[in-house]
Amino acid sequence: MRDTSTAFRVKKAFGYAMMLTFLAFSLLPVIWVVLLSMRPPTALFEPIWESPGAWTLDNIRSIARSDFPAALLNSFITAGSSTLLAMLIGVPGAFALSKRRSSNKFFASWLLLLLRMAPPVGFVIPLFLVYVRVGLIDTYVGLIFAYTSLTLPFVVWSMWTSFNQIPDELIEAGLMDGASLGRVLWRIVIPAARPGLVAAGVLSFLLAWNDFFFSLIITRSDTTTAPVAVMNFVSYASVDWGAIAVASIALTLPIVPIIVLANKYIVQSLGGAVKG
Amino acid sequence: MPATRASAAMDRTYRRMLVPASLAVGIFAITPLLGMLALSFTDFHLVRGWSGEIGIQNFVRLFEDRRFISSIYIMMALSVFGVLAQVVLGTAIAVGLDKIVGRWRFARGIFVVPFAVPHVAVALIWLSLFTPTLSPINAFFAVFGIEVPALLTTQTGAITAIVIADTWATYPFVMLIVLAALQGISPDLDEAAALDGATRVKAFFRITLPLLYPTLLMVALFRFIETLKHFPLIFVMTSGGPGRATQATNYYAYVQTFQNSNVAYGASIAVFLFLFAAAISFYIAKANARLSDA
Amino acid sequence: MIKTTHGALSAMLLLGSTALAPIAANAQDREVNVLLFSMPSTRGLAALADDFEAETGITANIDVVGQDVFESRITLSFTGGARDIDVVHTPVIQVQRWVEAGWLEPVTDTVEGLEDKDDILSGPLEAYQVNGDYYGLPFFAETGLMAYRKDLLDAAGVEAPETWDEMLEVAKAVDSDETAAIAMRVAPGQGFNMFVFPMLMRAYGGKFFADYPDDMTPALDSPENLEALNTYITLMNDYGPQGIGNFNFPEVVAALQNGQAAMTVDGTSIVSQAVDPAASQFADEFVLALPPGGPAGRSPAIAVHGLGIPAGSENAETAAEFIKWATSTETLTKLAINEAFPDFTRASVAENAEVQAKYAEVQEDFLDLRIEALNLAIGHYRPLIPTWPEIGAAIGENVNAAVNGQMSPEEALEAAQEEMEIILSY
């Protein structure tokens, strides 16, 4: 059905205008922070068109010299390890939950959701009190365990729904052919659940990477993660906007390719997750 | 029957696969939660310690505490308006993108970018945009002699500011899910409606939207619970201000626990929040079970 | 119940932690871990760490974190025994609370052992004395001053105000579309608006307590405090720059430096940025003076920061050496020269020719003004009680709400009074 009337063209133009507005809303703040990252402090509070020539790489240099790169590394280590741990423990658990005939599934699914929903403020104090006793404050292990409390319920929940989409017959057929369960898992289930695995891995990494609160409370100088280290540029006397902009970009850059590449899988898997 | 023996063996295997996950969930997630619950019945204070008393005094105090009551209203405002904005915007963009194919498909990737920005950075970026002396928005309108009001100095403004920042960061999540759902809806339906003489807009509201409803409901509920836990946005953008205008319940729990050292009282606020979230997740789990069965 | 959960969880966690504990910098004999929060003089101090090592052979690991981060962590660190910290940034307003909780080690011997103890400004030093013991040595004492644009006041045909009532008239005369008359901190916080607002309170004769320290009945809802709050609200809302209701340190500084505000009454570290030629476009036009007074005289603000040692520190001796170095005439002189603020805590620093020359260039009598203001300032400008951080935060939030029109000034003071009573009752 091709409609070429003026009314249609107006509507189409309106549609594009709306989409462009949305695009501006999503991109302009990003462009702004990139510009901000290259403005010298003296030109910070002037409109850009009043000093169009004032640019500097000093902000980037000062970030490179600060503790921020170390904090980024800490973020990578802890978010990565926790995701790995959650996947190793969570994926088999999710598979069993999905395929096992049991009457307690509702309770399990509610419990998992509940854990994802729990407010970290209350959570973190008991964690802190225990960590102090056993010396886990400001250690990678302590932070990785704390993040696992976020990532594990998420991985189990989302892989559970992913495995639900794999027909039981497929697995049974494999087993009938005499293959071991491990082989079936490796050869049939994992490939079929790949979108779900990628999505669960990426989103759980994001969950830990994004964390501010746990790191604020249970790390000190050795293992501080990047989101908390950014706040060190906000001081009593001044806000180092240039450094903050650079740090924000540094925090985001590693995630962008991951998200853009995994976009497709996330869409597939989220579609499943919501429909069940 | 070999089948039953096999399935009994399978069941054992499944149970073994569940052990590490159950143990880990128990240790990492459930134990601290129980600790939180236990603390809420004490009078543990970071400076003064614990007198050894146990009771429900914290929960009694909750309902006499005006700051707590008003924090609930603030939380609800942030959540309701935030979720509405995210769902409407995310759906609108998804519907728009769904129609775009071919050369412009890469636009999808661009719309996802804010999703990659960590919340602390989101908060700092929007704080800079809402700081009148720094913001390019104010500078731009000043050229035309228009004074953009300072959002962060009024309650409505500060809540709006947080909702805007939150929407910017999370509409891609809604968009991705709605896109996935839209792909499951046959385009034939749209055309059938068009044949019936309905306009595209009408077709959308009459056919597509009802089909999307379960998806939208789930997304909204998920987002709703997430917004109850707002922390970095408030901490960075407003510190709970102006006055206490953006001290939502979760933030108030932080203030009591960490600024005022009233750990036990903070824990009781967290327990309240947790029960609230529990009720909503119960509903989600139910709805999810229903959808799975269907 | 807590005990058992601890036990079970601890056992589990221990299993994992022994294998994977990160490589902690194993404490060599001569090392000191210092935790400071970010302000110009602490960053300046961190930059001098090499000097300390050259002089003493002790490595100072100075960790400078954001103030928000510091405040969220420090109480918890103390609760956990703070074994990782040897020297801690100790703001004067926290001393009482930390001492009550038993978190600080007395440094009385160190203080009494100083040959040049008398050189330390007595007000700031005495503020670290609790029950006869010293719990820290000050490195930073900031007081309140006024800065005003002489060119704009002259153009409006007015003189610099001597009292807050005069300030209202001057502000009215000076205020214009391009330049607001006055900018002060309004952002809520015991160290933000509650650093500046008590200057008005005390000038009008208002108090926090009926008769500190003998009668600790909250006395916020007095007519004097109401008058002060009304003046503050009028100044900020009618003659302040746009968005003032959220202004904190950086915004006030930016407004002064960019010509968006003609006057301020705030800490020396703010006013000295208005007159800093390297950063301010109007450095030459700004003149510094004592803050305005009122019926009850002048009461410049005072904020003191020092260094203390966490209780049970295993490194107390090394820590004491660091504190002595950091608060010595030599180090404070370097700071006064390197940084833009003359907030030193030793009289002898002002005798240094280079320091004198540097601040005389800003304004002939800058250093004298500062000393005059410090002498006028009362030690308990903000009450020295353990609950002050909590009380100050509560009052600050209500005052901020009143400026932003969320409640009337009467309601704000009443609410603050009530909250103060509740906090004191727990």
Q: pLDDT by residue (tens digit) across C265-295? A: 999 888 988 998 888 889 999 999 999 999 9
Domain ranges, residue A258 = 67-275
For A234-251, the DSSP string reads B-SS-B-HHHHHHHHHHH
pLDDT at B63 over 60: yes
Distance from CA of C16 to the nearest CA of B (A): 12
Interface contact flag, C81 A132, Cβ < 8 Å: yes
Q: Which residues of C touch B153 (CB under 8 A)?
A: 243-246, 404
- Please choose, from the candidates B129, B107, B125, B108, the residue with its C-alpha nearest in 3D space to the C-alpha of residue B117: B125
pLDDT band at B188; cut points 50, 70, 90: low
Please report which residue ranges of C265-387 form alpha helices under DSSP H. Answer: 268-274, 316-326, 329-338, 353-362, 366-376
Same-domain status, A35 and A71: no
Structure confidence by residue, pLDDT tens digits, C294-329: 999 999 999 999 999 999 888 889 999 999 999 999
CB C382 within 8 A of CB C392: yes
Question: Where among A58, A84, A99 does a domain terminate?
Answer: A58
Does B239 contact C187 at a Cβ distance shorter than 8 Å? Answer: yes
Chain A residues touching residue C260 (CB < 8 angstroms)? none
Residue A1 counted as domain residue: no
Residues A186 and A94 in one domain: yes
Confidence at residue A103, expressed as pLDDT on a 0 to 100 scale: 65
Please report which confidence band the pLDDT of residue C246 belongs to, taking 50, 70 and 90 as the band edges.
confident
pLDDT digits (tens, 9 = 90+) for C364-398: 899 999 999 999 998 889 998 888 888 999 999 99
**In chain B, whose CA is at the least distance from the CA of C6?**
B35
Find which of C12, C17, C84, C246 to mutate to test the A interface (most A CBs within 10 Å of its CB).
C17
Q: Where would I find the H helices in B100-154?
A: 107-116, 119-129, 136-143
How far lies B130's CA from each of A27, B126, B138, B164, B209, in Å?
A: 16, 6, 9, 11, 35
Q: Say whether C88 sits in a helix, a strand or coil.
A: strand
Contact yes or no for C242 and B150 at CB 8 A: yes
Helix (H, G, I), strand (E, B) or coil at C258: coil
Measured CA to CA, the distance from residue B62 to residue B265 in angstroms comes to: 8
A4 or C114, which is more confident: C114
What's the whole-number mean pLDDT along residues A111-122?
82
Number of CB pairs, chain A paired with chain C, less than 8 A apart: 100
Chain B interface, best mutation among C67, C397, C419, C421, by max B CB count within 10 A: C397
Q: Which tokens sit at A162?
A: 């992913």
Reduced to 3 states (helix: H, G, I; strand: E, B; else coil), residue C277 is: coil
pLDDT at B283 over 60: yes
What residue of B is the nearest CA neighbor of A217? B258
* Contact between B212 and B182 (Cβ < 8 Å): yes
Residues recorded for chain A: 276
The pLDDT of residue A102:
73
Percentage of residues of chain B with pLDDT beyond 90: 33
The stretch B261-268 carries a mean pLDDT of 91
Q: Which of A119, A209, A272 sits opposite B273 (nearest CB)?
A: A119
- Per the listing, tokens 């720094």 go with B134
> Based on the structure, what is the number of domains in chain A?
2
State CA A116 to chain mean position distance: 14
Does one domain contain both A113 and A54?
no
Same domain, yes or no, for A18 and A126? Answer: no
Chain C residues whose CB is inside 8 A of the A223 CB are: 22
What's residue B103's pLDDT? Answer: 65
A274 in B contact zone (CB under 8 Å)? yes
Position C197, amino acid: F
What confidence category does residue A5 fall into, taking pLDDT thresholds of 50, 70 and 90? confident
With contact defined as beta carbons under 8 Å apart, do B128 and A36 qualify? yes
Q: Which of B76, A98, B254, B174 is nearest to C73 (CA)?
A: B254
- Interface contact C210, partner A, CB < 8 A: no
CATH of the domain at A123: 1.10.3720.10
> Please, what's the largest Cα pairwise distance for chain A?
76
On whether the B57-293 domain is CATH 2.30.30.100, my answer is no
Residue among C419, C420, C415, C346 at smallest CA distance from C383: C420
Residue of C nearest to B239 (CA): C188
Which residues in chain C are closer than 8 Å to B243, comparing Cβ atoms?
188, 397-398, 400-402, 404, 406-407
My answer on whether omega of the bond before A191 falls inside 30° of 0, hence cis, is no
Which residue in chain A is spatially nearest to C251 when comparing CA positions? A238
Contact B245 C71 (CB under 8 A): no
Instruction: Provide residues of A within 8 Å CB-CB of chain C.
Output: 42, 45, 126, 128-142, 145, 216-217, 220-223, 228, 231-239
**A42 and A157 fall within a common domain:** no
Interface mutation vs chain C, best among B34, B153, B154, B156, most C CBs within 10 Å: B153
- Chain C residues with CB-CB distance to B34 below 8 A: 5
Which domains does chain C possess?
A: 28-141+303-371 (3.40.190.10), 143-301+379-425 (3.40.190.10)
SS (H, E, C) A217-228: HHCCCCCCCHHH
Q: Are residues A152 and A249 in the same domain?
A: yes
| C125 contacts C138 by C-beta, under 8 angstroms | yes
A145, closest residue in chain C (CA to CA): C13
Chain B residues whose beta carbon lies within 8 Å of the beta carbon of residue C420: none
Mean pLDDT, all residues of chain A: 85
DSSP string, C109-150: HHHHT-TTGGGB-HHHHHTTEETTEE--EEEEEEEEEEEEEH
Q: Inspect the interface and report whether the beta carbons of B258 and C75 lie closer than 8 Å.
A: yes
Long-range contacts of B269-272 (CB under 8 A, 24+ apart): B269/A121, B269/A122, B269/B62, B269/B68, B270/A119, B270/A121, B270/A122, B270/A123, B270/B36, B270/B40, B271/A122, B271/B36, B271/B37, B271/B40, B272/B59, B272/B62
Residue C19's pLDDT band, with cuts at 50, 70 and 90, is very low
Which of B153-157, B196-200, C24-28 shows the lowest per-residue confidence on average (mean pLDDT)?
C24-28
Same domain assignment for residues A216 and A119: yes
Whether residues A265 and A229 fall in one domain: yes
Say yes or no to pLDDT of A254 above 80: yes
Better-predicted residue by pLDDT, B218 or C318: C318
- Same domain? For A136 and A207 the reply is yes
CB contact (8 A) between residue A122 and residue B274: yes
Q: C69-89: per-residue pLDDT in tens?
A: 888 788 878 877 767 789 999
Q: Alpha-carbon distance C68 to C55, whole Å?
A: 33
Helices (H), chain A: 6-37, 58-65, 68-99, 105-117, 120-134, 140-164, 168-176, 181-184, 190-192, 194-210, 213-218, 226-230, 241-252, 255-275
- pLDDT at residue B233, as a whole number: 94
| A155, part of any domain | yes
* Shortest alpha-carbon distance between residue C328 and chain B (Å): 32
Among residues B251, B42, A141, which one has the least CA distance to residue C22? Answer: A141
User: Of the candidates A58, A76, A96, which is a domain's last residue?
Assistant: A58
Q: Which residues from C are below 8 Å from B152, CB to CB?
A: 243, 245-246
Report how far residue C326's alpha carbon sits from residue C89's, in angstroms, rounded to the nearest whole number. 12
| Residue B101 pLDDT grade (very low, low, confident, very high; cuts 50, 70, 90) | low
C297 φ/ψ sector (left φ>0, alpha ψ -120 to 50, else beta): left
**Taking residues C203-230, what's their average pLDDT?**
94
Asked whether the beta carbons of residue A26 and residue B15 sit closer than 8 angstroms, the reply is no
The full set of domain ranges for chain B reads: 57-293
pLDDT in tens, B123-167: 999 999 998 878 888 888 888 888 888 888 888 999 999 999 999
User: Which residues in chain B touch residue C2, judged by CB atoms under 8 angstroms apart?
Assistant: 35, 38-39, 42
* Mean of per-residue pLDDT scores for chain B: 85
What is the nearest CA distance from C101 to chain B, expressed in angstroms? 5
CB atoms within 10 A of CB A81: 19
Please name the amino acid found at residue C146: M
CB contact under 8 A, B133 and C398: no
Determine the distance from the C-alpha atom of residue A70 to the mean position of all C-alpha atoms in its chain, rounded to a whole number: 20
